[in-house]
Structure formats: structure tokens, C-alpha cells
Amino acid sequence: MTHRIFFRTLAMALVLFAVAMNKAAAEFKGDVNVSGSEVEVLVRHQDGRPASDVTLRLFHGAQWTTIASARTDPRGRWRYLATEPGLYEIYVETPSGSAGPLRLPFEINEESDAATTESFFSGPLSRWIAACALLLAAAGLLRTTRLPSTAFFHGFRWLMASACMAAGVGLLVLGGWHPESGGPPSPATGKNLAANAREFLRSRNIAPLSGSLMSILLDPKHELISTQSHALLSQKAPDFTLRDHKEQPMRLSERSSRGPVVLVFYLGYNCNHCVGQLFSLHDDMDRFRELGAEILAVSPDSPEKTRKRFAQYGPFAFPVLSDPENKVAQQYGIYLPPTEKEAGELQHGTFIIGRDGHVHWVQFGSEPFTDGRTLLRELARIEGRLPKLTSCAD
């Protein structure tokens, strides 16, 4: 009897220990639905209730860096439009004290939506079967003796047999033909990165700046954004040399000695918000040039990948540099390298660097900075070209 009580107590203790160690799994459960390049995440409590306002982080690629972060809506959902194929994973943050985040891996395939949803009736197997049926019908018509042996029916039989044979041979040819082997694959539906980036700008009411540079700098209706605190603020900007899309080296100190530099760290072409930021800067490049300023964009993308995207969507009016291991991003404090327990995390970052080589203004975080008016005003300020406001009394 004593032994039975002991083993029951031990079993209960083990169950309670397992529950405590797997508290994260008891907090939430989640599903990821992928349709082409559209991703929908649904997070629920264990009793089925939607888990709203839960923090999600999306990781992509071999370096496994964060490319998006968000919170679930009141229905426990979050939607994202992926612009690059590959392996992804979503981390669902759980309350403190839990064993760890809920991890939801998924994959975006290279193939287009049409290729992944091909039905039996549109596939090559169905064409082979139909071709065999037509050839058998042709053979049957040629061998049949049930039709009258008049000239009319004899000609009709040969005509139908010939038609069936031609159709069968045609389907045999089509059944062995694969469109993807005859040339480059067509772009997948819904993966037009440029359109997605422009849509992001429209959703933020971001349009190319209009009017003279003076009117933009003196616009009293626009609320400017102050710099964030950062370890490099007012400090010498770390110098670096990186390659552009043409494999040409480019050094920061050489550029900043000619004029101020807007240094933009973005997550790569797998982030349509990032590309939207680059489009916005490209649209207003003439304004930056009026102030003698230059823009440098840096991401982990390789020069080859950038060249391919330029061929698809067009180049930008400023250099795009490759930082494949995020070493420069780490120098600027916006990349946390991976550890045994955490994946690496790359943030968006925008730095204004003066002719003196010092960092004068910083913004960084989970979203790209897209306020061109603030950048222009800060550049004008450090260049001593900021116009003074005059009152009516003057």
C-alpha cells in the first residue's frame, strides 16, 4: 500500500513538472496558412479563443534575421505578403516565465501560384490519358465493320479516324512538354515587389515632395521628428568599405568628405517596406542633391541579387551596398548577432553623417524611416543652410 501511494505521488509530481516546463505550449497554439506569397498567421489560446495583441516576429533566410514584427489583431490574426521564396519561421512571444516562444515554420516556394495549384485535368498525366483514348478511338474506327460500306460512310470513317489520330499525337507532344524548360520562368502572381512597395507608401500617404526646397524646409504644418538616443550620436561614424551592385568598392569617409551622407540600413529585397523606403528616397533624390547630400543604402543582399532586382524593377539614384554578414550593421548598433538561444536580429536604421564624419541624427527600429522632410531639414541644419523663419512684424 505504501509503495502504491509513493508511485502515485511520484507520477503526479512528474506530471506537474512537465506542465510547468511546457507552459509556453499551454499558452498558445498557432497555424500558418500560405497561399502563393500571402501568409496568414492565426494564434489562439488553448481553449480556442483568439489571442489578440500578441507579439510576432518573422525570420527569413540562412542568417535568420528578423524581417518583420507585429501584433495580432482582435481575431488573433496577422497577414504578411512575402516577396522572396525560402524558409521562414514565426516566433510567437509567450508570457514571461514560459519555456520559450511558440515557433511556426513554413516555406514559400519558387513556383508560381499557377504551378502549385495545377489540377489533374490541366496536368501532363491527363493529356497522356486523353491522347491514348483518342488513338484507340482512331484504331477502332479504322477496324470497325459496323458502319455501312458506302462511299459516304467510308470517307466519314477515315475523316474521324484521322482527326482522332491528329488530336492524339498532339496531346502526346503536349504531355511531354514542360513550359519551364523552354525559357526562364514567368514571375509568380502577387510577387511584384515594386507594386507591393508602392502600395506600402500609399498606405502611409507618402508621395514625392512638391514645391521648392525652400518651401519644404519652411513648411509650418509638418511636424519634424527628433533624433533618437544612440551610442553613436555625436560620435565619429564607423568607417567602412563595401561593394556596390557592380562589385565596386565604396568607402564612407570618402563620400562624407564631399558632403553629408544619409546612411540607410534596410533588411533586403525580401522586405517590401524596405524597398518602399528606397523608392521614397529615390523619388526625392533631387532635393537631397540640392543640399549636396548623398544617400548610401546598405543591406545583407549580395551584389548579384541586387543586380537581378535592378534588372526587374530598375536601379536607384544612389549606391546600394552589400553587407552580407551584417558586420557594418553591427558596428552601427542595429544588428544583434545570433546566440545559442536567440536568432540574429537586424533592424532598420537611418543615420545622418556630416562632413565632419560625425553622426548628427539617428532613427532605428522595426519599421523603415520614410519622412523625407525631416531628413532634408536636418541636412540643411548641419550644413548651415536652414532658412530662418521671419515674423510679420519683421
Give catalytic residue positions: 274
Specify the pairing of strand 55-60 against strand 86-92.
antiparallel
56: left (phi over 0), alpha (psi -120 to 50) or beta: beta
Calculate the CA 236 to chain-centre distance.
Answer: 32
At 261, phi and psi to the nearest 5? -125, 135
Could you give the CA distance from residue 226 to residue 95 in angstroms, rounded to a whole number? Answer: 33
At 255, phi and psi to the nearest 5? -70, -45
| Coil vs helix vs strand at 76 | coil
Residues in CB range of 187: below 8 A, 6 or more apart: 112, 312
Measured CA distances, 82 to 98, 140, 159, 188, 388 (Å) = 29, 53, 53, 12, 46
| Residue 40, beta-bridge partner list | 33, 79
Measured CA distances, 211 to 202, 223, 288, 381 (Å) = 20, 17, 14, 19
User: What stretch of H or E contains 277?
Assistant: helix 272-283
Long-range contacts of 68-77 (CB under 8 A, 24+ apart): 68/271, 68/273, 68/366, 69/366, 72/41, 72/43, 74/50, 75/50, 76/42, 76/43, 76/44, 76/49, 76/50, 76/51, 76/52, 77/40, 77/41, 77/42, 77/43, 77/50
